[in-house]
Chain A
Amino acid sequence: DTGVSQDPRHKITKRGQNVTFRCDPISEHNRLYWYRQTLGQGPEFLTYFQNEAQLEKSRLLSDRFSAERPKGSFSTLEIQRTEQGDSAMYLCASSLIRTSGDNEQFFGPGTRLTVL
């Protein structure tokens, strides 16, 4: 499967614990996005990388959240001191910059986080 992959697919944790998710984008895609989706809502933008640089962060991304893309390939999203309100589906997407301005984002299957 050459699509976007995410690991783990499900994570259950206790409040106060730290969690880390991984996203592997489509090979050679230089843009990588993180979104969060809660029940009954559409995905909401969290942050994005162009290659290894984190260029934009949403105000939804509190200081407990940190994301990295160290070599411009896979990315990690860490949540420290998890809260019950962090329970959501975390989606990763990737895209390739084109001179045409094409912006099709390809989504991964998501990581479902449940904070008890």
Chain B
Amino acid sequence: AQRVTQPEKLLSVFKGAPVELKCNYSYSGSPELFWYVQYSRQRLQLLLRHISRESIKGFTADLNKGETSFHLKKPFAQEEDSAMYYCALSRVHGAGSYQLTFGKGTKLSVIP
């Protein structure tokens, strides 16, 4: 069974401080990992995915298969980063539904 664990329900950091949102996963095959974000009163939206290796809004995430982790990092937090962050995984392309398995989410609060 696939599982995503986000150990922190709430993370508070000061503006300008580094941010790391933790995500660990268990999956028998080769997964695709995502970070989704939900800002206040907005819908869930994709922030980044491991296969694109992009930096979005200053955030990066590296897939560590040895530690089965996909932590989200940003060197300097901004107030507008305050949001709910969800780590998710799906199977790599091939037959199947690509259903997403989500973690419980981490609420990031950036203190001015």
Known: A91-B44, A107-B44, A107-B45. A45 touches B92 (CB 8 A): no
Q: Size of chain B's interface in residues, with CB distance under 8 A?
A: 25
Q: Is A112 an interface residue (CB 8 A)?
A: no
Q: Does B93 contact A (CB under 8 A)?
A: yes
The reply to whether A105 and B43 contact each other, CB–CB distance below 8 Å, is: no
Contacts of B90 in A (CB 8 A): 103
Q: Chain A: how many interface residues by the 8 Å CB criterion? A: 28
Check A33 against B99 for contact (C-beta < 8 Å): yes
Q: Which among A4, A41, A100 is the interface contact of B104 at CB below 8 angstroms?
A: A41
Asked whether any CB of chain A lies closer than 8 Å to the CB of B56, the reply is no
**A40 touching B104, Cβ below 8 Å:** yes
Chain A: minimal CB distance from B41 (Å): 9
Q: Which residues of A contact B70 (CB under 8 A)?
A: none
Which chain A residue shows the least CB distance to B95?
A55
Residues in chain B within 8 A of chain A (CB atoms): 4, 9, 32, 36, 43-46, 49, 86, 88, 90, 92-94, 96-105
